[in-house]
Structure 1
């Protein structure tokens, strides 16, 4: 995998952990996620005005990914309502790289070298290990965290195929994100109403900023998937849990135990093998 792809994906991982920390720290996580998506939709539409649309062959994948992103958002919010960032986030992110590798081999015809596969396994194992408490995986939001991982795998494969058919990674990203950014607030309005969504409250500006950070982070990942194996890109992206564990410790009062430090070392070894 090219060094610049690795560097970009690791930068995206840092951005990804940042907006997840913002979401986990909010008092009304569904509202925060919906405001983030409003920001994503506005930014995506503005950028799309200056670009030619992606190739028609990619449109169905953009639409499918947008729907899957809404499911991902709902499961992610629910998992954060029930447990810690440092516990549910690793389960969600750690379960997806192997799922993506397997799905990409079936639907995208990808073949992956054994050393790269070994690196993916190490990264996934280290990520999931971050969620353990002693010998138990006692996460209150475990079913939702696992469902989140399945949604991540599904939309990642859809986007990996879609961006390769699109002819333009940036155009594909903003079209897909514009659809997703509109769908999520629509779901919120159906649950709580329009007035409730646009009521100013603490965290409004941070949520808007979080949406822009999320857009940039996933845009980088989609670009990386256009040039590198989906499973390897996903594994590198999920190293965001390293940053999330540190942010949870520094800003959210969560613990950083010796077991977590060891798990971070396993993840780092996986990154070196992929690199």
Structure 2
């Protein structure tokens, strides 16, 4: 699910508009679901607000990195760096102490993912600062949501409240930058972006639920195996090549996932 909505975003002509439409879908769906759920515990509210703001920063950095660089290089760097950053941050802020097996698995997954961004022996990525910035935002909001979900007593309620806030903030920023007419004018790609937003909500809701009861770094590493699925889908359905480097990277990712499991 994660690989699919990123591919939808990367394929859009106006990625800032596409991302904002995705956020509108997230806000509408989250608000509708929230009507049927009791609010999360008050102790988690500050984390929901903080995470919503961090998600907006992530959105802006992700859009910028896709405007400058290719999906095949930007995606592995932003997604591959985040499990390591999350493991460190979770250790500092949540007191998590993953075992050596989990650390080895996380390192294999992250290393395998990042290696997909190399061309030969070079890591020549025009969007490198934005891709790394995206990875930092992923780590920040993931740890924030992991702590918030644990304090909430209701991970699903926490997810929809946080996502509703995030889904409102992003359109507000877009309107400030381009105006309301630009956002609400229906154009080609609206339905695709809207569906992508719903997919992203479901995908991240599963992640928050998992982090409420499992180590954040390990959950993040397993989430980032979406890169492996993207490579295999590209080979079997899109006619993309599967080089020896890609096969070794996929093997490292798979072994890391097994070790974590």
Q: TM-score range by the shorter chain?
A: over 0.9
Determine if the alignment matches structure 1 residue 147 to structure 2 residue 133: yes
From 99, 103, 117, give the equivalent of 2:103.
117
From 17, 20, 35, give the equivalent of 1:49.
35
Determine helix, strand or coil for the equivalent of 1:70.
helix
RMSD: 1.4
For residue 184 of structure 2, what is the aligned residue in structure 1? 198
| Post-superposition offset of 1:262 | 1.2
Query: Structure 1 pair 186/47, CA: closer, same or farther in 2 (3 Å)?
Result: same
For residue 197 of structure 2, what is the aligned residue in structure 1? 211
Determine helix, strand or coil for the equivalent of 1:212.
helix
From 218, 221, 224, give the equivalent of 1:235.
221
Where structure 1 has 5 or more consecutive residues not aligned to the other structure, the ranges are: 1-14
2:112 and 2:199 mapped to 1: Cα distance? 25
Q: String of CA shifts for 1:148-207, please: whole Å, max 9, x gaps.
A: 000000000000000000010110000000000001111111111100011111110011
Determine helix, strand or coil for the equivalent of 1:57.
helix
Give runs of aligned pairs for residues 160-199 of structure 1, distance below 5 A. Answer: 160-199=146-185
TM-score normalised by structure 2 residue count: 0.97
From 11, 17, 25, give the equivalent of 1:39.
25
2:172 and 2:205 mapped to 1: Cα distance? 23
| Post-superposition offset of 1:140 | 1.4
8 Å Cα contact 1:85-1:248 kept in structure 2: no
2:5 and 2:240 mapped to 1: Cα distance? 17
Determine if the alignment matches structure 1 residue 88 to structure 2 residue 74: yes
Determine helix, strand or coil for the equivalent of 1:219.
helix
Determine helix, strand or coil for the equivalent of 1:95.
helix
| Post-superposition offset of 1:54 | 0.3
From 100, 112, 120, give the equivalent of 1:134.
120
1:252 and 1:123 mapped to 2: Cα distance? 24
2:52 and 2:234 mapped to 1: Cα distance? 28
1:254 and 1:83 mapped to 2: Cα distance? 18
What is the total number of aligned residue pairs between the two structures?
A: 261
Where structure 2 has 5 or more consecutive residues not aligned to the other structure, the ranges are: none
| Post-superposition offset of 1:242 | 1.3
Determine helix, strand or coil for the equivalent of 2:118.
coil
Q: Which piece of structure 1 moves more, 119-128 or 76-85? A: 76-85
Q: Which piece of structure 1 moves more, 240-249 or 49-58? A: 240-249
TM-score normalised by structure 1 residue count: 0.92
| Post-superposition offset of 1:243 | 2.3
For residue 5 of structure 1, what is the aligned residue in structure 2? none
1:259 and 1:82 mapped to 2: Cα distance? 24
Query: Structure 1 pair 247/204, CA: closer, same or farther in 2 (3 Å)?
Result: farther
For residue 25 of structure 1, what is the aligned residue in structure 2? 11
